[in-house]
DNA sequence: CATATAATTGACCCAAGGTCAATGACTTAA
DNA sequence: TTAAGTCATTGACCTTGGGTCAATTATATG
């Protein structure tokens, strides 16, 4: 990586850091692009070198904490399926809480925006690796923990639905409940039931 | 209701009808306030007599179908709790489907908008009567279907989470799955389990 | 009929997202 | 070393569209 690329990387990092602090504190709609660039110490136009639209920076902000979960799960390869899924769900809500309401709010609003086209290489819209969840379930089928005819696509969607539902409701309720208590209750009560009919006894 | 009030009511109805068609067809961000007023046959300023902000009209659009569910549930008073809740959930997703993705998307984005202050009299932000759900559960406790120490607030939130999760994911996935199949699976597999520990045997 | 009230209008304002030609620092190849 | 090429940076400028408001018109009231 040469000098120019390093400088560019640094500029992007400065923008993301500035935006993170400003949005977390004030909310996405309150601040404008110039607030971000001023805090980052660059010109307004520079923002648009790295992000197509004002909204796009939120995806990049939230990507960092969530990407850690994928690494953690790789280390849990040998564990049983419910342990892995429980970890996945709990860590998801931990990330939600650490990002804060303003970021999660805007992230959800972004993904619901039909104009939103992700600008990252892999075209991934969800910040959280849904593919990872699928892989966990596929491995469980291969390991004969789950029946061969398990509808993986469906189960993936069910769990994602649950997590996004919790996140959305948490934001809507202005943080009235504890995300971690919430997800724990879900794992204890519902998760096993969801898997039950596909589990090999 | 005198002539003037009737005309005003009619103007508002025209605006809502015009907006419904335009948003359902094109999406909220694509159309602007003038598109709505042009289609309704009124001036731009008139819009702001009835709605504080462009976004506020979406709440009014979606209120109609959802309000019907409350009436239906009043007719089911004598039925058992799972029947009532199943009906509630299924009808919710029916409304979601009939509103269409563009309306539901924008509705969710609205409620996640921290600037959003509902303009309707009762200050209700959710278009769907959450209080109704609470009432159903409270009645079940009184009828000794559910234990006296049932955490009603919690159960209400759990079910709302599920429904909003389904709606949000449906919108995010661009309508890739069937809302009705989805909610049926939820009612069959998870609903009973959620209630189980509070059910009087 | 005069006064009060409420709905309607559309020209206008303006915040802020987004553009782009010019600049200059850095890279590359001869 | 140097000249050509590349690319991040800049900030004045453009544009869109949400929202305002004084004037007007229609209706209600006494």
Residue ranges of alpha helices (H) inside A117-172 are 130-142, 152-172
Three-state DSSP class for residue A174: coil
pLDDT score recorded for residue A93: 97
The model's pLDDT over B45-61, given as tens digits with 9 standing for 90+, comes to: 999 999 999 999 999 99
CA-based nearest residue in chain A for residue B156 = A169
Does the pLDDT value for residue A16 go beyond 50?
yes
Query: Which of A44, A71, A185, A61 minimizes the C-alpha distance to A132?
Result: A71
CA-based nearest residue in chain A for residue B161 = A165
B172 touching chain A per CB within 8 A: yes
CA A69 from centre of chain? 10
Q: How many CB atoms lie within 10 A of CB A120?
A: 12
In this prediction, residue A201 has a pLDDT band, given cuts at 50, 70 and 90, of confident
Phi, psi of A117 (to 5 degrees): -120, 120
pLDDT score recorded for residue A127: 61
The model's pLDDT over B122-154, given as tens digits with 9 standing for 90+, comes to: 455 666 678 889 999 999 999 999 999 999 999
The DSSP secondary structure of B35-47, one letter per residue, reads HHHHHHTS-HHHH
Residues 6+ apart with CB under 8 A from A187: A85, A86, A89, A90
The model's pLDDT over B53-94, given as tens digits with 9 standing for 90+, comes to: 999 999 999 988 888 998 899 899 889 999 999 999 999 999
The answer to whether the beta carbon of residue A6 comes closer than 7 angstroms to any atom of strand D is: no
pLDDT score recorded for residue A84: 96
Contact B85, B9 (CB under 8 A): no
Residues 6+ apart with CB under 8 A from B122: none
The model's pLDDT over A65-124, given as tens digits with 9 standing for 90+, comes to: 888 998 899 899 889 999 999 999 999 999 999 999 999 999 999 999 887 766 444 455
Check CB contact under 8 Å for A29 and B115: yes
Cα A146 to Cα A160: distance, rounded to the nearest angstrom = 19
Q: Return left, alpha or beta for B42; rule: phi > 0 is left, psi -120 to 50 is alpha, else beta.
A: beta
* Nearest-CA residue relative to C1' of D21: B45
pLDDT score recorded for residue A124: 56
* Nearest-CA residue relative to C1' of D6: A4
B48 touching chain A per CB within 8 A: no
Query: Which of B115, A32, B99, A5 minimizes the C-alpha distance to B107?
Result: B99
pLDDT score recorded for residue B130: 83
Highest mean pLDDT among A31-45, A106-120, A130-144, B118-132: A31-45
pLDDT score recorded for residue B112: 93
Which nucleotide's C1' is closest to A32 (Cα)?
A: C16
B1-CA/C1-C1' distance, Å: 25
A165 touching chain B per CB within 8 A: yes
Q: How far is CA B115 from CA A13, A30, A95, A102, A173, in A?
A: 29, 9, 24, 12, 14
pLDDT score recorded for residue B67: 87
pLDDT score recorded for residue A121: 45
In this prediction, residue B201 has a pLDDT band, given cuts at 50, 70 and 90, of confident
Percentage of residues in chain A having pLDDT higher than 70: 94
Percentage of residues in chain B having pLDDT higher than 90: 79
A29-CA/C24-C1' distance, Å: 35
DSSP, res B199: B
Residues 6+ apart with CB under 8 A from B140: B81, B146, B150
Check CB contact under 8 Å for B157 and A173: yes
Contact B61, B18 (CB under 8 A): no
Phi, psi of A109 (to 5 degrees): -60, -40
Does the pLDDT value for residue B121 go beyond 50?
no
Mean pLDDT, residues A124-128: 62
The helix, strand and coil proportions of chain B, stated in percent and rounded to the nearest 5, come to 70, 0, 30
Q: Which residue has the higher pLDDT, B117 or B195?
A: B195
A2-CA/D2-C1' distance, Å: 21
Cα B86 to Cα B82: distance, rounded to the nearest angstrom = 6
B165 touching chain A per CB within 8 A: yes
B113 touching chain A per CB within 8 A: yes
Nearest-by-Cβ selection for A168 from B164, B182, B193: B164
Percentage of residues in chain A having pLDDT higher than 90: 80
């Amino acid at each position: 990586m040469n000098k120019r690329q390093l400088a560019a990387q640094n500029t992007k990092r400065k923008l993301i850091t500035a935006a993170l602090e400003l949005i977390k504190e004030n909310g996405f709609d309150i601040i404008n692009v110039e607030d971000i660039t001023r805090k980052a110490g660059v010109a307004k136009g520079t923002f648009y070198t790295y992000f197509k639209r004002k909204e796009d920076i939120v995806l990049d902000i939230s990507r960092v904490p969530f990407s850690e979960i994928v690494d953690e799960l790789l280390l849990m390869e040998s564990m049983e399926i419910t342990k892995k899924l429980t970890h996945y769900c709990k860590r998801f809500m931990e990330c939600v809480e650490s990002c804060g309401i303003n970021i999660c709010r805007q992230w959800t609003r972004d993904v619901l925006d039909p104009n939103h086209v992700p600008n990252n290489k892999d075209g991934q819209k969800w910040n959280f690796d849904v593919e990872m969840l699928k892989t966990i379930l596929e491995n469980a089928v291969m390991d004969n923990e789950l029946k061969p005819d398990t509808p993986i696509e469906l189960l993936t969607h069910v769990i994602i639905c649950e997590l996004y539902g919790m996140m959305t409701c948490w934001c809507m309720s202005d943080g009235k409940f504890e995300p971690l208590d919430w997800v724990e209750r879900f794992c204890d009560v519902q998760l096993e039931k969801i898997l039950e009919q596909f589990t090999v006894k």
